[in-house]
Each structure stands twice: as structure tokens, then as C-alpha cells.
Structure 1
């Protein structure tokens, strides 16, 4: 039998087992939620009752990671996370240190391993060419986080006495400034865009701070838009699912976790499946209010969809999606990405990825709201407010400068220095006219304005 004990923010499944020598041991396995702990508890009790229970007994890094993925990863991770972690293990961990016994690992060995990773060439994953020839410090940090967690589980499972990477030094990562459009560039792109799908995508991504998958997963039943709602400014969309293509083996391994709908395949074969799934975190489920202009675009798109449905009849594949092909099938991110790249290339715009629009949106919403982090977090769906402040703290510097100026004014009675524009407003009419006519071009323009006014009068 097994039992569940709550420890701080985790739930531990506690059970006893007998080793090969007949000695009894107690083991603890930790899980982030009570539901996952209950699932593991039921699994253990079922296997014990049927005499098929096997205690994790990994002797090498490779064997540990197999148990780690089966017990921890399957119960905790979303499909995309599971796939990403599995790729790290197969490409950068097992080929290098997979056969090393757990008992031989030490901090010095692991630090050398991290340094050696800087000389390892990046692998092609899911047919995507890597951005860098060799592993970057950022990718090595991902490897470190995975191993640190796996070794922590090994310590809990009594497979190791200590975590060899707990205090390991990893290559320093140089922060890279993300390329994104400023507001004038974004407005210019909207003016130049003649692709209806891309235009709606650009407007929604910026105004609603959406991720690509969230935007493409919007269904019509989650849109609350009408003429009245638009008029009073309460038109909104509810984000509760996302469109994602996942590997079939991961899809089956995780027992279709969080999947709401599986789209039929257009072609037979293939090792991936397209799904609508729940967002990665609960905070990603949110209501976002639409600007009136964007709400009108959405309302027009819904009307266009209804017209196409009536025109095609049974030939239309109705999945109730806001973004779809002309026959109703889901529109994948690569279509929007290709259209954006074409717009950038044709009009020589700064090269950015679609996700950068979300960062532009957060940046400007922080500026316009005076640093209202909670309001911006509500739109962005970040799990924690500090995720916003850490990424966009530089935006708040403007308000901090303003605060220093206010302290000067209120505490030290220092009056703000007037700009040239401020000085102009203090002039009497004669001085102002003199200032205008001191510039010949301004004087001519002012005279032309007076003549035009006189003729219209």
C-alpha cells in the first residue's frame, strides 16, 4: 500500500518495498499536484497487487533518465515540454555522459561536461535548422536545469546521496536584446499589409498580447463581439485553448493529456498530429478586451466565415475556428510566418519573428499604463507578475526617472525646468508673432494661412 503526504507545495507518494536481499525500504516520490500523486499511488498499488512492481534502480545516467521521464515527466509535463526535454536527453546528454555510473558523478566532472558542451554542434530537431553552429550557454542552461531536477529525484529515490550539479558553475549567458518593432514600424506594417489573414493576425497579436498558438486556437464560441459590445467597449475574446502540432509518440505516451480535440489528418501516415489543447498554465486562460477597431475586424471576419459556410455547404469543414483555410481547415503558424517574412522582405522592414509582436505589445502596454504590471499580466497570461518585471524592467525606468523629478518638486521645492515649448506658451501675442516672423519660412506660412482664412470668411 502507498500513502500521500503533503509537503509544502508538493505531494509525496510514500510506499515500502523489499529489495533483492529481503530488506524492507521506504521510498518517497514527489509530485506537484494531488491528482498526479493519486495517479502514481494507484499505479504503484496496482503493480504491487499484481506482483509486477519495479522500483527505480538506475545505475547509470541513461537508466536514471529513463525512470525520470517515465515517472516524473509523464506525470508533470505538457506534450511540447516532454518532447523538448526528450530531445535534450537524446542529443546532448545520453551520447556524452549517458553510460557514466551515478556513483562516479561529481561536481568537477559535471562542470567540465558543461564546458565541453560549448564545443558540441547543434542538432537539427523536427526538421528545424539550428540558429547557431554550436550549443549556446542558453541551451546548456536548459540541460543543466533538466539534470538538476533529475538528480534531485534520484536523491529522493535513494539512488544518489547528493546532487552533483546543485552548485555547479555553468557557462555565463550574455543577455541578448530581442528584436522587435517600435510603434511607428508596426503602424507602417499594417498600412503595407494586403494579406487579410496576416493583417488580422498582426492586429490581434499586438492588441491582445497573444501567442501564435493561442491566436490560431480561437474558436467562435469564445468570441464575445457584437455591435453593442463594440460601442460600449466591452467586446472580448476568451483564451482557453491553443493550436499545436505534436509528435504522435509523445501524444500517445502522455495519453492525450490536456487535448480537447484532434483534427483529422489530411494525408495518411506522418508522425505528428494537429490538436487543440488546453494552455500550458491556468493563468494562460484569460479574457482579453478588444480595441473597437480590432473588434470590428473580428466581427467582419465572422461574417465572412458565415458567407463561406453558406457558399460551400457540406464541403466546408466546420471546426468553428476564427483562423482557417478557405475550406475551414485549421491554419497553422507556418502560414502566418511565411506571410510575415514576405511582408518584411517586400518592404524592407526590420526582420522580426511573429512572437516579437507579443513583446512589443507588453512593452507599450507597460508604458501606456504607467507600469501597471497586474493589468498587463492579465492580458499576457504570464504565470507570475515577476516574469513581466524581470523581462521588461527597463520599461519602468521612465517612471522611476519621473518619480525622482516629483521628489525634487514636492520635497525640495525645485521647479521643473521649462522647455522651449513651455517658454513659448508664456509669451504675449506680440512676442509670439515676433518669434514667428523671425523665421522667414514660418512668416510666409503664417501669412498664407491668414490669406486663406480671409478668403473663406
Structure 2
């Protein structure tokens, strides 16, 4: 850029010209002349640089287009890692909720960028993708994290479930790249995914789960009774763990016998708090300023999730009892130290109970019951450790399908599901159900014979007596 220097009471301006940008000095100027010339040459320099930049970008696109058969009308030489960061910033932040945003970006960082991120997106082919997926299944180790990762196996390699999750994100990203005209075709559309069979989540039958409700029904112990009420809400209202933890006393309408389910308790990364899809109703007080996450009450992921769950008299009794116990603890133990967040399911001091805490408490109860001689047969012995608090939702869906005679729409509404296939996925069939079906078919068969025609004749006679004009019309219709 141009600069001004002072010499012998006069001013000189040094600037650059030509394609080689050789320096030129003009001296003997007054201060005002020097400033005007400097500003003029700076404007010319800026214009020249912009023209050069456009020329370089045009040449780069021509080179990219020449070497790649998949370059679009607006080609880029971005690597997969560079493009995915752009895609997540421009697309993911607008369309993804906190959980999906966090898990998707983690999979990119852990499994995509280190092994596949160096390739330019215009050069990626379906064959390269198939080879990469094969590598993930056979060679790529799982990245260590807290708890058991979805799709993990004993050998420690990435499994088909994780590969499919990765593929879903990359396919969406490349569809967007095609819309942005970076590429002409999406190579992920034709990729060969590894075979994957969705494992059915183990869940207790309704009858066996009701044993657990009976076992935990102890109003003399606040913590035990709290998990009892949490399990009862999960069972009778077909809730999710976060929904149970997010319920507050204003959501309970004793007169209308309803629970308003419209928010969920969750832990959210502080850096994700500004995601547009994330609607937060309340942020709990931060206990440690160094934590990277905060506990919040947030809106559910879909509109179908919000619902008013009808309560039976049994649930009303349990909720009233829990409310009474909390009030007594505030009055007699905690006083002003009680953290009154208006939560229905909470710790003795009023703090929230996270889903992972509900999970641990539920598992402890199962272990305790087995030690006391209870034998659960609806879940195989080697699968009992896989039963979690969320599994109660399956027992609930199963029971409601049974008592409603398979009314999918009613069960969908009760559980906040948007699609009927989710009800089918959650509800279970047990051997006892098959026995009941066989018995019911036999009973219906024995009810047959002459009884049905006699009932039909009596019904027809009653209709004719109530509507004599129908007989006239019938006789007229059968005349030759």
C-alpha cells in the first residue's frame, strides 16, 4: 500500500505499479497533495488486488473442473474436513438440535476427519466411500468415551450402527454440496452400507414391571418413593426419561387429571446454547463455574412430543403423596436451603435428577430384587444389564396396546410419537400374548353355531319394527 515520507520540508509518496508491482516514488509534494495521492493509489491498489483475487479464483475453478469429473458450476478445492466444518456451521446449526449436533460433530472429529478428511470433496467417489466404510468396520478402533458407545462391540471396532450414523450425516452434507453447486452428483447415494440389524431393546413385560412398582412403593423412604413415582409416571404416561425429570408441579392439574408434558431435563454444552433449534425454558443454577455444560429444561424435539397425559386415580394418589413428602421435608429439614425448582421428581434438596441417575437407581432396584429372590423371565438373563429406565416406555406401550385392543393412534398420542411405526417398535410381544390370542380364537369359535343367526334375525326384526317403511321398500325392491 502507498506510504508518505517527509524530506526537506516536502513530502514524498511511495506506491506500487505494474503486474510486477515495482515501487514508484513521487516527491516535492505538499502535505495535502501527498495525502490525496496516497489515498488515490491505495484505492487503485485495492482494486488491483480484488481483480487479481477474482482471476486466481477463476483459474482455480477451471483447474478443479478440469481434473475432476464431479465438479459443479461453483467448484471448490476444499477437503472433506474443510467442507464439513462449513456445512455444520451453515446447515447444522440451523437444522439440528443440541444432541444431534454434538453427536454428529463428534463422529466427524473421531472417525471421519482423521481417516477420510484429507480428500477433496470433488474427488471423492463411491468406490472410495465403500473402501472407507470397510476400513471402519474391520480396522478402525472405537474412540474411548464415558460409558458404552452406541454400536460398540467387544472387539473394539466401529460397527454398522455407527457407520450408518456417519453415512446419514455425510449423505446430507453432500446433498447440500450439490445444491450449492460444489459438485454435480452425490457419491454417497450409491454407497454400499454394511449390513445392519437393529437390535431390539430388552424390556420387562407389563406384568413383571408391575412387580417393580409394588416393590418400590414405600412412602416412608423419600428417595425410594421418588424413584417409584418416576417409574409410575414413565409407565402410566409413556414418557421419556428427560420428560420425567422435567416435570414441574404447575404441570400437574389435579382437577383435570392431567400432566402437561412439554419440556425435558437435559445437560447441554455451553457452546451450543445459541443453537436456533434449542429452546430453553429454564437454566438451573451452575454449581461449578468450570463445567462445560449446564442443566436446562428445554423444548422437545418435535411438536408431537407435547401432550396432556391423562392420569388415573392411582397416579393422582402417588403424586399427592410425593407433594406432601416434599412439603414436610422443606418445613422440617431444609427450610430456606431447599432449592425450590418446582420439580416433581427431584433430589431431597430440590436439585434435579438426571436421566443417568434414574438409570442407575432403576438398575440398583433390579439387582436388589433379584438378590431377594425375584426371577424375571421376560428378559433373558444375559440381557438384564441392558435394561434401562427408558425401557419402561416399551412396557408402557405394550400395556396400552393390549388394553386398547391395538388402537395405534391412541397409543401414539399417549407416548408423543409422530409415526405409528415407533409404537410398533416399542411395543413387545411375549409368549403369554400368543397363548391369549389362541385362547381368544378358540372362545370365538365356540361362540359360533346357531347363536349368531338367531341374534341377527332378532336384530333385523327390531329394526323393521322401529322403521316399518323399510319393509315396504324391501318388498318393492324384490318384486319381479
TM-score, normalisation: structure 2: 0.68
1:56/1:67 contact within 8 Å kept: no
Q: Which residue in 1 is equivalent to 2:135? A: 116
Q: Which residue in 1 is equivalent to 2:402? A: 367
Q: Which residue in 2 is equivalent to 1:60? A: 79
TM-score, normalisation: structure 1: 0.71
Q: Among 312, 337, 343, which residue is 1:315 paired with? A: 337
Q: Which residue in 1 is equivalent to 2:171? A: 148
1:58/1:159 contact within 8 Å kept: no
Does residue 20 (structure 1) correspond to residue 54 (structure 2)? The answer is yes
CA RMSD of aligned residues (A): 3.0
Query: Where in structure 2 are the equivalents of 1:431-442 lying within 5 Å?
Result: none
Question: Residues 287 and 57 from structure 1, CA distance in 2 versus in 1: closer, same or farther, beyond 3 angstroms?
Answer: farther
Counterpart secondary structure, 2:273: helix
Does residue 183 (structure 1) correspond to residue 203 (structure 2)? The answer is no
1:246/1:273 contact within 8 Å kept: yes
Q: Which residue in 2 is equivalent to 1:138? A: 161
Counterpart secondary structure, 1:166: helix
Q: Among 98, 107, 111, which residue is 1:79 paired with? A: 98
Any gaps of 5 or more consecutive residues in structure 2? 1-50, 59-73, 219-223, 371-375, 448-480
Q: Which residue in 1 is equivalent to 2:392? A: 357
Q: Which residue in 2 is equivalent to 1:424? A: none
Counterpart secondary structure, 1:268: coil
In the aligned structure 2, how far is the partner of 1:304 from the partner of 1:394?
A: 38
In the aligned structure 2, how far is the partner of 1:255 from the partner of 1:317?
A: 30
Distance apart, 1:362 and its partner CA: 0.8
Q: Deviations over 1:319-365 (max 9, x none)?
A: 11101122211122232222111111122255211111001111221
Q: Which residue in 2 is equivalent to 1:292? A: 313
Counterpart secondary structure, 1:165: helix
Q: Which residue in 2 is equivalent to 1:161? A: 184
2:77/2:122 contact within 8 Å kept: no
Does residue 330 (structure 1) correspond to residue 349 (structure 2)? The answer is no
In the aligned structure 2, how far is the partner of 1:152 from the partner of 1:221?
A: 44
2:230/2:244 contact within 8 Å kept: yes
In the aligned structure 2, how far is the partner of 1:376 from the partner of 1:357?
A: 15
In the aligned structure 2, how far is the partner of 1:184 from the partner of 1:392?
A: 14
Query: Where in structure 2 are the equivalents of 1:99-114 lying within 5 Å?
Result: 99-114=118-133
In the aligned structure 2, how far is the partner of 1:256 from the partner of 1:248?
A: 15
Q: Among 442, 445, 452, which residue is 1:416 paired with? A: 445
In the aligned structure 1, how far is the partner of 2:361 from the partner of 2:427?
A: 28
Question: Residues 70 and 212 from structure 1, CA distance in 2 versus in 1: closer, same or farther, beyond 3 angstroms?
Answer: same
Distance apart, 1:124 and its partner CA: 2.5
Q: Which residue in 2 is equivalent to 1:172? A: 195
In the aligned structure 2, how far is the partner of 1:362 from the partner of 1:392?
A: 5
Q: Deviations over 1:236-281 (max 9, x none)?
A: 10101100011222225x2693111111112231111111100111
In the aligned structure 1, how far is the partner of 2:171 from the partner of 2:202?
A: 31
Does residue 218 (structure 1) correspond to residue 257 (structure 2)? The answer is no
1:263/1:274 contact within 8 Å kept: yes
Q: Which residue in 2 is equivalent to 1:11? A: none
In the aligned structure 2, how far is the partner of 1:384 from the partner of 1:345?
A: 35
Q: Say which is worse superposed, 93-102 or 341-350, in terms of deviation.
A: 341-350
Counterpart secondary structure, 2:282: strand
1:91/1:123 contact within 8 Å kept: yes
Q: Which residue in 1 is equivalent to 2:235? A: 206
Does residue 342 (structure 1) correspond to residue 364 (structure 2)? The answer is yes
1:212/1:333 contact within 8 Å kept: yes
Q: Deviations over 1:355-386 (max 9, x none)?
A: 11001111221122111111001111112233
Distance apart, 1:313 and its partner CA: 3.2
Q: Which residue in 1 is equivalent to 2:113? A: 94
Q: Which residue in 1 is equivalent to 2:88? A: 69
Question: Residues 124 and 71 from structure 1, CA distance in 2 versus in 1: closer, same or farther, beyond 3 angstroms?
Answer: same
In the aligned structure 1, how far is the partner of 2:302 from the partner of 2:400?
A: 22
Q: Say which is worse superposed, 308-317 or 167-176, in terms of deviation.
A: 308-317
